[in-house]
Amino acid sequence: SCYSAPLLLSSPVLGTRPQTFRALALRGGANMATSADEDQKTARCNWPALEANPEVLTNFIHGVGVPKTWAFHDVLGLDAELLGMVPQPAQAFVLLYPDAEHPDQTRDASSEASSPFFLWQGPPLGNACGTIASIHAVVNTAAGESLVSGSALASFVDETKGLHPQDRGLALEKHEGIRAVHCAQAQEGQTQSHTEAVDHHFVCFVHSGGRLLELDGLKGAPVDRGPTNQDSLLVDAAEVVKAEFFAKNPDAKYILLALGPSMD
């Protein structure tokens, strides 16, 4: 099959949560829209959006304790030649896509707390999807194997490794170390006013146990996208992005990033 390649943005775009009413539905709903709006405004101020910029996300992961041997890189397209330009071995594929209305996801309290490391994004996390995608990308790959001892991310992983995804999300809401780094990076980049409601969302793809997993904090569990291995991660993730995102919304604008070895 063929597809019409959507526009891949080189200019910055902000990641976001979905609209207030859907976010609140995941926590049981709300009685008054005005109260919900105020809660979301507060959440966006506490967790403003990160720019979809490899430098911003790289500075974020370094700030929370990832060694400087790892970095995010632009992915300029999904054909083999462009994927081959990404520094190897690539560890994770991150997609920023338009967060159009899509059905609420069922969140099961029995979801596994073990592998992969996965956390839910509740309403108080505001526009934290870029941070959540970065955490998923790091902790589930080789980049997370040598976190700086005592760093914000190392402490968060140690404190939450045995918890349910919901409880991990609740722990992130209260983790001032990670939030401080997040907020500092939200002030970087080229865009202005990071606390408004924005209309794009970050998700992450990683290899785990021979499977390609889509990790989206707004969903109840990781989504199994089929077989993969570390060497074919980018190619396999690219096929999923073409079929599940580009083909369904070919006129939209996307940003693609990959976590891999630093070039510095």
Q: What is the mean pLDDT of the chain?
A: 83
Res. 254 pLDDT band, cuts 50 70 90: very high
What's the pLDDT score for residue 87? 97
What's the pLDDT score for residue 111? 54
What's the pLDDT score for residue 77? 95
The answer for residues whose C-beta is within 8 angstroms of residue 57's C-beta and 6 or more apart is 50, 72, 94, 130, 134, 185, 257
Long-range contacts at 172-177 (CB < 8 A, ≥ 24 apart): 172/119, 172/125, 172/128, 172/132, 172/135, 173/122, 173/124, 173/125, 177/64, 177/151, 177/152
% the chain with pLDDT above 90? 67
Its pTM stands at: 0.83
How many CB atoms sit inside 10 A of residue 38's CB?
12
What's the pLDDT score for residue 192? 53
Q: Residue 203 pLDDT > 50, yes or no?
A: yes
Among 8-17, 151-160, 196-205, 229-238, the least confident range: 8-17
92 vs 26, which has greater pLDDT?
92
Average pLDDT over residues 183-193: 76
Res. 238 pLDDT band, cuts 50 70 90: very high
Res. 236 pLDDT band, cuts 50 70 90: very high
Res. 204 pLDDT band, cuts 50 70 90: very high
* pLDDT 10s digits, 146-170: 999 999 999 999 999 999 999 999 9
Partners of residue 260 on adjacent β-strands:
71
What's the pLDDT score for residue 14? 40
Residue positions annotated with a catalytic role: 129, 201
What's the pLDDT score for residue 195? 54
Res. 103 pLDDT band, cuts 50 70 90: very low
Among 82-91, 196-205, 220-229, the least confident range: 196-205
